[in-house]
Amino acid sequence: MIIGGSGLWLWVLLLISYAPDLQAQSGNPTDAMLTGQVRGEDGKGMPGVSVLLKGSSTGTTTDANGQYQIRASQNRGDGPATLVFSFVGYTPQEVAVGNGNGQPRSSIDVTLTPDEQSLNEVVVVGYGTQRRRDVTGAISTVSSQQIQQVPVTNVVQALQGRAPGVDVATNDYGPGESAAIRIRGNRSFRASNDPLFVVDGVPLSGGSLNDFNPGDIESLEVLRDASATAIYGSRGANGVILITTKRGKSGKTAITYDGFYGIQSPSKRLTLMNGPEFVEMNREAYRNRSTGFVYKSPTPNRLEDSTMFAGLDFYAWQNVRNAYDPDGSYHPERIQTTDWPGMILQSSALQSHQLTLSGGNEKTRFLLSGAYFSDNGVMKGKDFNRYTTRFNLDHQVSARARVGFSTTFAYSIQNKNTNTYYQASRVIPIAVPRDSLGALIFNPGNDAFTYNPLYDIEGVVREDRNTRFFGSLYAELDLIKGLKYRVNFGPDFSMTRGGIFYASLSSEGKGGAPSAQYNQNHRYGYTLENLLFYNRRFNDKHDLNLTVLQSIQDERTERSGSNVTGLPYEYQEFYNVGTAENITSVSSELSRWRLLSYMGRVNYNFASKYYLTLTGRLDGSSRLAPGRKFSFFPSASLAYNLSEEPFMRRVTFLDELKFRVGYGETGNTSIDPYQTQGSLGRTVYSWDEVPAFGFQPANIRNPNLFWERTASANIGLDFSLFKGRVSGSLNVYRSNTYDLLLQDQLPTVSGFGSYLRNIGSTRNDGVELNLSTVNVRTPGGFNWTTDWMFSRNREAIVELYKGKVDDLGNRWFIGQPLSVFYDYKFDRIWQNTPEDLELMKAFNDKGRNGFRPGDIKVVDVNNDGIINTADLTIVGNDRPKYIASLNNTFSYKGLELSVFAFTRQGLTYGTDIYNLSAFLGGRVNHVKVDYWTPTNTSGTFPRPSDRERPLYSSALRYSNGSFVRIRTATLAYTLPSALTNRLKLNRMRVYTTVDNPFIWTSNRDILDPEGAGAAETPNRIAFIFGLNVGL
């Protein structure tokens, strides 16, 4: 409702902004009154044009007929007076007030022309570029300015809320971790649902996007429908994201610095029970016991406490005992609380620094950059550091030949540690971390399965080091007029080393022998493409563009690893595994695959009014068996630019109106190398009572496997109104994915329980809207713009291996999303009332559930008076019904304020924060909840008990996962050119950003509804200060 209300006010302000400017014009009483009219190319008056006296705050706007009047003299203190006429989508004009003869003019009429650069804005479409007005598919662009508004590790995180149809959700807030990205939903059960990334024309087949510095990105193009992604054939089903890096420009050599430094801290912590609350929860749990020691006193009793806490260590029991006076009086405020999570959380630095050198002339252009990024995280032992360099070069060899390249070298170090926040949240708050001598206590509270998290900070190392070289090299030759040949070569080499070490005194070591793992991954791949482009214009109305491609992609990966225990000295960590007493496992692996492709595309438009795009791609893969290696992926799309019709010119408020329709088929490269050939697995058996090893078939050979395919249809509308004041696009789509890879059942007498085959289908349909508005624009320089985004997607299973029959074992249901929560549905807490006692007795007599007042009551779905598996039901899913974002930008002169909000609505969240190994049982600490007692019958959680998993406790996992988040708020100031010129700078911008300052959600217990629903790495709030300087 808040967002809706804001939208109403926006439209009111939008209408007001078209009224003639009523601002009092400042000026000298001796200034002359100037009048005039501003017309468009059609000769008609243009309303709303800004008329500003250059270098002052004096200004006005034209009325409904394009007329204006303004007071101005022919000279100002710093020189001749000049009027500046400007309007969105048109080239600004500057006109001198004087007539050149020392006399002021009385009237100035101006004709504004459309800004050709705006009209001919170029977007990357895959294997080429197109004018945005000529695009027939569903394509979104995210600019470098939008990417850099959010301090992120990789570019995927910057996409959140920026492009319609793109759902970005962070699953892990640890430094260096990426986000899950889905374009128009999930399609596959077994294969990846991640989109294809293409960097400077080279498809990525492996590695991490963390290797690419967001500051090097010029733009991101998101191809969403099949008519746009079919050119990538077997890899286009999940959408395609084209990443274009910055390149040098002709002109003076420029040096720029872009950097920020910030302080981050946890945005939220779990609200755990403090010492007195934990002790009282234990008493209540023991009051509810049916066997063993039962706490009989309704109030705290020192003798019963000593019995209940007899198993605790000395320090924990001493803490409780201190709450009693000698006469037995109890003072809970004396119980000390140990803030275990606070010991492993921290405030730390978040910083990025980039230096760029660029320039060139008409023949050679270059860009060289070096960057450093560091995220020390909000949890001790987890951090990420990255060093990147980039060198881009474009050279005009001759009038017909061009060559160039872009290269990236990246080196990163990521420390992951363990989930120490989970360990810290479990430790009982009455225990202490150190004994009286200052030594760490390994099992605080004397619980054999609860470990001091401080040991893991030093005693656990989980480090990944990654080195990567990525390149894109090209050569172009103009063969004849309109015909161009291009060759692309993209090498991609990466080497990853993963090391894991667990000290003896750690949560994994458990006091035993120290252990380590050492893993290596060497990957080399390349892409080689030959392309022909033919562009021709006929009779000034017919535009024809042809693209032909032949491509080879090859990748080779080697993996090796070893696991050992019994290291003789711990300081060697994982660097000398050969000295270990025991080698528990050694492994190595080789994987290689190739892809051969042919592609053709035809783009045709008539008079910039009617558009046609036809695409066909033939992919052949070494992963498939002979006879099934090749598949063809076609697409077609049409567009009709209604605004080019003569009769539409009378509709003055309409700038552009284009209808689009497209259909295409794409694939999902979801079959692993060698999978069609079958495999052998090692087996252990006894031969004459002697252990022996052998091999047996592990997977059935299946030469009939082939790609999953997606057929997609899209209808779109692009529009621009009121001279560019309102613009956007609307898309409606449906995608059907079939030939899904699923395990089908086999008779066990065959030696296998199942085998992989192409069967089953899913469907995604939805609607997407993005809208940009210029809400306020005043002659004095104040502007307010808004970018809106809304996406709604519904995914559903259509068929499984038995047709339209549910698979209860895998929780797959026809008509439901691919992943659902299938569980008992929480109803309420059983009460100690005659009605509930009678109902509990009826249930207990039939189902032997043993219900008691204070227990969890779940819904009897089939109303048979028995709670069993027949009452399991779908309680929700983690797919949002819609996602939306709102970005408001306010600017005045060089000052700019930008606020970006994002929301995911209509999803269910499943959290494990109520199950920290024991649910209100007293063994470990618990999230502070309102639990039921005989004196607190309104409690929404069950009574504490010694049962670690109360009956049907899983029903409490689910809550509304909807949220609204202020993602960033940035206040920036760009110094005026007069000042930067004195400082001998091209530009200088300073800014401050607050990252993730606010979130609104219904579940206040969880850390974050997006990616931290359990006791795991919390999200951050960061205060950042940045600087952009150009020399």
DSSP 332-357: GGGS----HHHHHB--EEEEEEEEEE
- The phi, psi pair for 147, rounded to 5°, reads -60, -40
pLDDT digits (tens, 9 = 90+) for 723-755: 889 999 999 999 999 999 888 888 877 778 788
Locate 779 and state its tokens.
Answer: 């002659």
Where would I find the beta strands (DSSP E) of 539-649? Answer: 542-565, 582-606, 610-621, 630-641
Q: What is the pLDDT of residue 850?
A: 85
DSSP letters spanning 425-446: HHS-TTS-SB-TTSPBPSSGGG
Residue 478, pLDDT above cutoff 60:
yes
Out of 159-168, 442-451, 499-508, the most confident range is 499-508
Task: Give the Cα separation of 227 and 142 in Å (integer).
Answer: 20
Task: Give the Cα separation of 600 and 532 in Å (integer).
Answer: 10
Task: Give the Cα separation of 729 and 720 in Å (integer).
Answer: 9
Q: Does the 2-118 domain belong in CATH 1.10.10.10?
A: no
Nearest to 711 by CA among 729, 689, 735, 727: 735
Residue 3, pLDDT above cutoff 50:
no
Lowest mean pLDDT among 535-549, 870-884, 909-923, 1007-1021: 909-923
Q: What is the pLDDT of residue 56?
A: 67
**Sign of dihedral through CA atoms 989, 409, 235, 193?**
negative
Mean pLDDT of 704-733: 93
Cβ–Cβ < 8 Å for 538, 568: no
Residue with tokens 């390349």, as numbered in its chain = 526
Cα 68 from chain centroid (whole Å): 48
Locate 794 and state its tokens.
Answer: 């519904």
Q: What is the pLDDT of residue 699?
A: 81
State the DSSP code for 1022.
Answer: E
Locate 500 and state its tokens.
Answer: 């894991």
State the DSSP code for 941.
Answer: B
Lowest mean pLDDT among 43-47, 116-120, 799-803, 937-941: 116-120
Locate 972 and state its tokens.
Answer: 């920036």
For residue 937, give Cα distances in angstroms to 317, 829, 927, 930: 30, 9, 19, 10
Locate 981 and state its tokens.
Answer: 């010129």
Residue 24, pLDDT above cutoff 80:
no
Task: Give the Cα separation of 200 and 179 in Å (integer).
Answer: 22
pLDDT digits (tens, 9 = 90+) for 299-353: 999 999 999 998 889 999 999 999 999 999 999 999 999 999 999 999 999 999 9
Q: Would you say how long the chain is, in residues?
A: 1031
Cα 576 from chain centroid (whole Å): 38
Lowest mean pLDDT among 236-250, 370-384, 507-521, 671-685: 671-685
Mean pLDDT of 591-609: 94
Nearest to 710 by CA among 742, 740, 735, 731: 735
Residue 18, pLDDT above cutoff 50:
no
- The phi, psi pair for 789, rounded to 5°, reads -145, 135
State the DSSP code for 211.
Answer: G
- Read off the amino acid at residue 170: T
Residue 23, pLDDT above cutoff 70:
no
Task: Give the Cα separation of 918 and 940 in Å (integer).
Answer: 18
Task: Give the Cα separation of 880 and 411 in Å (integer).
Answer: 36
Task: Give the Cα separation of 676 and 678 in Å (integer).
Answer: 6
Confidence band for 166, pLDDT divided at 50, 70 and 90 = very high
Mean per-residue pLDDT of the chain: 89
- Read off the amino acid at residue 694: G
Task: Give the Cα separation of 21 and 60 in Å (integer).
Answer: 6
Cα 298 from chain centroid (whole Å): 51
Residue with tokens 């990521």, as numbered in its chain = 414
Task: Give the Cα separation of 339 and 163 in Å (integer).
Answer: 42
Residue 801, pLDDT above cutoff 60:
yes
More confident of the two residues 690 and 224 = 224
Helices and strands of the chain, counted as H and E runs: 13, 50
Confidence band for 7, pLDDT divided at 50, 70 and 90 = very low
Q: What is the pLDDT of residue 31?
A: 63
pLDDT digits (tens, 9 = 90+) for 105-132: 788 899 887 765 555 577 888 888 888 8
- Rounded to two decimals, what is the model's pTM? 0.87
What lies within 8 Å, CB to CB, of 671 at 6+ separation is 621, 623, 624, 705, 706, 707, 741
Residue 720, pLDDT above cutoff 80:
yes
**3-state SS string over 184-209?**
CCCCCCCCCCCCEEEECCEECCCCCH
pLDDT digits (tens, 9 = 90+) for 645-699: 888 878 888 889 999 999 999 998 878 888 888 888 888 888 888 888 888 888 8
Q: What is the pLDDT of residue 739?
A: 93
Q: What is the pLDDT of residue 16?
A: 35
Helices (H), 163-288: 226-229, 275-287
Instruction: Let me know if the fold of 2-118 is the same as that of 120-245.
Output: no
Residue 134, pLDDT above cutoff 90:
no
Domain range annotation of the chain: 2-118, 120-245, 826-871
Mean pLDDT of 580-596: 94
Q: What is the pLDDT of residue 646?
A: 86
Cβ–Cβ < 8 Å for 493, 471: no
Q: What is the pLDDT of residue 14?
A: 37
What lies within 8 Å, CB to CB, of 769 at 6+ separation is 164, 728, 729, 730, 731, 788, 789, 790, 791
Task: Give bridge partners of residue 405 from the DSSP assignment.
Answer: 393, 473
Q: What is the pLDDT of residue 120?
A: 58
Task: Give the Cα separation of 160 and 177 in Å (integer).
Answer: 15
pLDDT digits (tens, 9 = 90+) for 176-218: 988 889 999 999 998 889 999 999 999 998 778 889 999 999 9
pLDDT digits (tens, 9 = 90+) for 770-785: 999 999 988 778 999 9
What lies within 8 Å, CB to CB, of 16 at 6+ separation is none
Task: Give bridge partners of residue 1022 from the DSSP assignment.
Answer: 264, 995
> What's the first-to-final CA gap in the chain, in angstroms?
47
For residue 384, give Cα distances in angstroms to 144, 259, 412, 970: 23, 17, 7, 24
Q: Does the 120-245 domain belong in CATH 2.170.130.10?
A: yes
